[in-house]
Amino acid sequence: DTAVSQTPKYLVTQMGNDKSIKCEQNLGHDTMYWYKQDSKKFLKIMFSYNNKELIINETVPNRFSPKSPDKAHLNLHINSLELGDSAVYFCASSQDYGTSGAYQETQYFGPGTRLLVL
Amino acid sequence: GEDVEQSLFLSVREGDSSVINCTYTDSSSTYLYWYKQEPGAGLQLLTYIFSNMDMKQDQRLTVLLNKKDKHLSLRIADTQTGDSAIYFCAENPGGYNKLIFGAGTRLAVHP
């Protein structure tokens, strides 16, 4: 029944490793997002995809690569993990983006993936 | 520019009203949102307001919008211990539905 789900919930890894976080939504939405929440709880958008196409690509190191195999999934792959990548990563989805109303634009968030890089 | 500011902490007694304030900068924001984050959990959408509205009420929640001053507030009536959480204000400054969040207000409810 979960609308937006993420796996894993927790991820502890060593510096330099490569890891992936997966996100799936069963809301039938076209648009999906990745946000990063740092240790001070500050939330910032990283990427968004609409129907498998990249829409937003904020100033994010190119070690971060999103992949959308279909519109219900948006995965985040991180290469060469650094200490500063430790954060909570949230996936979100919306019906559409920036077009025609609150119903279409409202974003629903997943439970988050807590990444700790040692 | 894009910037959303909130006070970081608010402490209230159970049963009192809580008012969480937010200022934003982008007047093109069509919608403004309030999200709630409980400890260790994701963000839960509480409510939103359309930019041409002054007020929106939803059960114990009242949102007030002063568009001239770019000021948004969330009032929680009869605050309960279950309301203890971080509350995020967010603007949506048009374009690609990129939400700009404030730093969050940590609400503590004590008996």
Q: What's residue A32's pLDDT?
A: 95
Chain A, nearest residue to B105 by Cα: A41
CA distance A27 to A35: 19
CA distance A99 to A104: 7
Residues 55-114 of A with CB under 8 A from B: 55-56, 90, 92, 94, 96-98, 102, 105-112
CB of B68 within 8 Å of a chain A CB? The answer is no
* Percent above pLDDT 70 for chain A: 92
Average pLDDT, chain B: 91
First to last CA, chain A: 34
- Does the pLDDT value for residue B1 go beyond 60? no
pLDDT tens-digit profile of A5-20? 999 999 999 999 999 9
List of chain A residues whose C-beta atoms are within 8 Å of the C-beta of residue B86: 41
